[in-house]
Structure formats: C-alpha cells, structure tokens
C-alpha cells in the first residue's frame, strides 16, 4: 500500500477495499518508525483517526469526493486548528491557530485525512531545510545529504513513503528544488491560484502553495482541490473558478514546443545534472515534442532581485512577532523595547535575522529608491523576458537546480552558496508563473535529478500533462530510496 499513488489509493478507498482508518494507522506507524529522518514536527493519532473515521462514514454514505480518505501532511507554514503551527521557528513554538488555512480546509473538504505537520526551514527561508529551529531534515536517498528547502520535510516525507501526498510552499523554488533533490513531483501554480489565507507569510508577493506527490497525476488531483478564489480572505486570490486539472492528462505531446533557455545550460550546471536533463529532453522528443532554443537574458539578475524583494517583504511580515500577543516572549526583560529586542533575538534563527536586516536596510530612507524600487523594475523586465520566450515555445524546460543535493553542513556559514542554488527557480517565481519539477534521472552518488517545466500564466494543465506523459514512458518517479 505504501507504494500506491494517490490516484490508486483513492480508488481503492472508494471501492472499500481498504479503510481510511487502516490506511491512516499504517502511515502513522511508518512515521514513528522513521522519526530520525526529521520530516515531521507534529502528529496526533487521536485527531488523525477521528478524521479517518469521518471519511469512512462519508464513503459509506456514497460520497464520491475525489480524495476521500487519502492521508496528507501539511508543511508547517500552514496554520491548523488541530495541530501546532510553528513555521519551523522557536518564535512560534507550541502555537496553535484558532482556524485552518484555506488550503488545509479545502483539502479536508475534499476528504483528505491529516497525518501531521512537516518540518521546514524557519519561516520558509532556506534551500536546505537546515534552518529549522527543531531539526535538520535528512534526504531519504542519502541521509548524510540535505533534502532541499524550504519544503524539505514535505519532499522527504513523500520520498520515504511517510505520506502519499503533502502540501508545500514555493517562494523562490521551495517546492521545485526539494522535489528535484528527493525524486518526487511538485508543482507551484500561477501566483494567486491558491489562497494564501492561513499561510504564515514570508514574502507576500511571491509565496504560493502547491502539492507534492509521487506522480503528476497525483499532483493534478491535489491541485484541483487546493485552487479556487478566496476573495473575502485573500486579496491576492485570483477570481478564477476551481479547475479539474486531471481532465487534461493523456493529451498528445505531438508538436509541443519546449523552449530551452541558453542561460539555463551554461557554466555552473553540474555535468551529471546536464546529462540527466539532456536524456529527459530526448525522451520528450520521442513523445513528439520539438526543442527550441530561447533566451531569458536577465536570469543572472534573478538572485540579487529576489534577495532584495523577498527580505524587504519578510522584514515587514515578521514585524508582528514581537512577543506581545502570541508566540515566544523573552522570560527576562526590562521595558517594552527591551522585551521586543530580547524576544526577537531569542526567537529568530540566524537566517531569519539576516533577511530581516537586509529587508530593513533596502527599505530604509535613502536606499528604497536605489535598491527596492530598482529591483521591482528588473522584476518586471524578467517577466517580460518570459513573455518574449513564450512567443517561441509552449513550455520552458531546464534543470530545477544546478547540482544534486549536497551534504548536510557542506555550505556551513556560506549563505550565498544556498542562494545560488535557486538560480533556475527564482526567475519563474519573480514572474508569478506556474512551474513544476518531475523526476528525470540520477546523478552523482545515485542522487535524484528533477526536470523543471515552466509555463505561461494559467497553463498548469499543460505542464501536468507533459509530466504525466513523460512518466507514462519512464519509471524514474517509481524508484524509491533503499530502506524506505
């Protein structure tokens, strides 16, 4: 059962060949067995079994919700009423929300059963999941390596079969990069497709929720349940009705124009990753696609632009964590200002403090025009580059990351090394485009490599179909790490 996809599991549950309670108990047992992986931050067997029993009653009544009884786990950046919500930070240690995030509520309505909350980089800031205040997550393919970040707990949970489906968030690549490193499939929809209500904010103009699972078909089922307008609670939510992305699967790839940005295949791309990507692109050609060279000339500017805009928004969003109403408060302090200082010094980790300081600096008087305003202008130019490229192709393909997963602690005190690992995912995030990563091969040390697909706005179905057809022709996505 642990090898079943979400699609198969949902079918078996609807046919009453297995029960939601049985499935939930099996997964909870497996989570406990592999606790050392660090993927989960919180579980509650009583809550999970109660939800599973409710799903069982719905199935017995004839309810045909597509995900009824399917277990899921949520990245700890989504608030949940029944589980603690910490965002991987000491600042929110033990915090319990009075409500569920919209994405959590939508998946519950579709019938999903929550297994627990997943580890992540603190406030989703990181590319390795080593920035969590509680534990660094390990990659199931090699437990001496990182799983990617910030949705590293999510990717590791799927790779190790601790959950058949999970939620993640992608600000600068935090679904696509860990999906690549852990040999799972993950998709970030167009910005605004999924509500951000109840998602603890990092950078509000970039954060977007998305699913991760073993296959593109599974991601299509999950994304269909997650998306939809939420105008009363999220002003950035798009006024677009929910869409059944699974309906577009199995379409022909004959004549599909796949754009290959020359900037994605130059210096800095590891030879083993390049070899896996090239082999995957040849497979796409066999399926009828045509490869077209395109250019995204401002790719190298994506890193400095992102690390001006995202920290600026983070410094604003994280100002609410001051020890007054909720979260951590310093035990020893003097006046109010001293409480603020000590609370934030104790509650935030090094990477969060670094980004808050950068953000406060670029927004300060005298620097706003020189940094933040200029970064926003270049962001618009990066989006324009994509529109020019999409005039020549239907989807864009390339690596999700320049290398396979690195060793835990390898980047040590060099945050720039982590930042550079996002070079291929940041441009799409800055433009608000949908993007995904699917397994496409293996590199150095037998570590997974993911192929990134980027589409124009609202073309999630096209991306999912392309990945699905590739997965019908290959078996990379079915391969599992030894011991799991």
- Here the tokens at position 361 are 């600096």
Rg over alpha carbons for the chain, rounded to the nearest Å, is 21
Question: What's the rounded Cα separation, in Å, for the pair 310 and 317?
Answer: 10
| Sign of the alpha-carbon dihedral angle for 148, 458, 471, 392 | negative
Classify 456 in phi/psi space as left (phi over 0), alpha (psi -120 to 50) or beta: beta
* CATH entry, 6-257+434-478, from 2.60.40.1080, 3.90.1300.10, 3.40.50.10420, 3.40.50.300: 3.90.1300.10
Catalytic site residue 282? Answer: no
- Among the options 89, 97, 128, 150, which is catalytic? 150
Could you confirm whether 36 is annotated as catalytic? no
Tokens representing 439 are 């397994």
Q: Is the pLDDT of residue 382 over 90?
A: yes
CA distance 246 to 397: 21
Label residue 26 left, alpha or beta by phi (over 0 means left) and psi (-120 to 50 means alpha): alpha
Going by C-alpha positions, the residue among 190, 257, 251, 250 that lies closest to residue 394 is 257
- CA angle in degrees (0–180, nearest 5) for 28-173-184: 40
- Say what the pLDDT of residue 38 is: 98
Strand, coil or helix: 3:
coil
Looking at the predicted structure, is the pLDDT value of residue 1 above 80?
A: yes
Give the total residue count for the chain.
Answer: 484
Candidate list 75, 106, 138, 462, residue with the active-site label: 75
Residue 153 pLDDT exceeds 90: yes
**Paired tokens of 25:** 């108990």
Output the six-digit token pair for 148: 């990617």
Question: For 111-121, what is each residue's pLDDT tens digit?
Answer: 999 999 999 99
pLDDT per position as a tens digit, 25-42: 999 999 999 999 999 999
**Cα gap 452→448, rounded to integer Å:** 13
| pLDDT for the residue 414 | 85
% of residues, the chain, pLDDT over 90: 96
CA distance 467 to 277: 14
Average pLDDT on 463-471 reads 98
Compute CA 75 distance to the chain's CA centroid, rounded to the nearest angstrom: 9
Task: Give residue 122's Cα distance to chain centre.
Answer: 14
With a CB cutoff of 8 Å and minimum separation 6, the contacts of 115 are 24, 27, 28, 31, 40, 43, 48, 71, 72, 73, 162, 163
Beta bridge partners of 166: 73, 212
Catalytic, 75? Answer yes
417-435: average pLDDT: 96
Four-residue CA torsion sign, 196, 121, 320, 203: negative
pLDDT value for 412: 79
Of these residues, 128, 132, 161, 174, which one is catalytic?
Answer: 174
């Amino acid at each position: 059962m642990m090898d079943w996809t979400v699609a198969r599991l949902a079918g078996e549950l609807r046919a009453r060949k297995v029960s939601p309670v049985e499935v939930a108990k099996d997964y909870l047992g497996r989570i406990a067995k592999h606790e050392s992986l660090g993927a989960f931050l919180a579980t509650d067997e009583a809550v999970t079994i109660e939800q599973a029993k409710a799903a069982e009653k719905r199935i017995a009544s004839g309810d045909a919700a597509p995900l009824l009884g399917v277990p899921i786990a949520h990245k700890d950046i989504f608030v949940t009423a029944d589980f603690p919500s910490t965002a991987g930070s000491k600042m929110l240690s033990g915090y319990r929300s009075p409500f569920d995030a919209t994405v959590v509520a939508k998946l519950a309505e579709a019938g999903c059963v929550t297994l627990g909350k997943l580890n992540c980089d603190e406030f989703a800031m990181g590319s390795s999941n080593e920035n969590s205040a509680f534990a660094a997550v390990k990659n199931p393919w090699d437990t001496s390596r990182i799983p990617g970040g910030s949705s590293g707990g999510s990717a590791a949970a799927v790779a190790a079969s601790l959950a058949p489906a999970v939620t993640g968030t992608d600000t600068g690549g935090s679904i696509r990069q860990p999906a690549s490193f852990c040999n799972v499939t993950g998709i970030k929809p167009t910005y605004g497709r999924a509500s951000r209500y109840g998602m603890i904010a990092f950078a509000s103009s970039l954060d977007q929720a998305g699913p991760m699972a073993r296959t593109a078909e599974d991601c299509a089922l999950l994304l269909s349940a997650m998306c939809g307008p939420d105008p009363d609670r999220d002003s950035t939510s798009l006024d677009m009705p929910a869409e059944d992305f699974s309906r577009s699967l199995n379409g022909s790839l004959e004549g599909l124009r796949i754009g290959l940005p020359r900037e994605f295949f130059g210096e800095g791309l590891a030879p083993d990753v390049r070899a896996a990507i090239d082999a995957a692109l040849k497979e796409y050609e066999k399926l009828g696609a045509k490869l077209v060279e395109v250019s995204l000339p401002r790719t190298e500017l994506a890193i400095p632009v992102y690390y001006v805009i995202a920290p600026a928004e983070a410094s604003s969003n994280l100002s609410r964590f001051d020890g007054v109403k909720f979260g951590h408060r310093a035990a020893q302090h003097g006046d109010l200002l001293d409480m603020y200082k000590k609370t934030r010094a104790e509650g935030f980790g090094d990477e969060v403090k670094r980004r808050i300081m950068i953000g406060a600096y670029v927004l300060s008087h005298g620097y706003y025009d020189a940094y933040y305003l200029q970064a926003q202008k270049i962001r618009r130019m990066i989006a324009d580059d994509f529109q020019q490229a999409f005039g020549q192709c239907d989807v864009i393909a390339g690596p999700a990351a320049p290398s396979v997963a690195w060793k835990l602690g390898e980047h040590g005190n060099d945050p720039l090394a982590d930042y550079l690992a996002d070079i291929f995912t940041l441009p799409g995030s800055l433009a608000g485009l949908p993007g995904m990563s699917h397994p496409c091969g293996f590199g150095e040390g037998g570590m997974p490599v993911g192929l990134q697909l980027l589409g124009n706005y609202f073309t999630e179905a096209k991306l999912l179909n392309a990945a699905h057809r590739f997965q019908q022709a290959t078996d990379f996505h079915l391969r599992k790490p030894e011991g799991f």
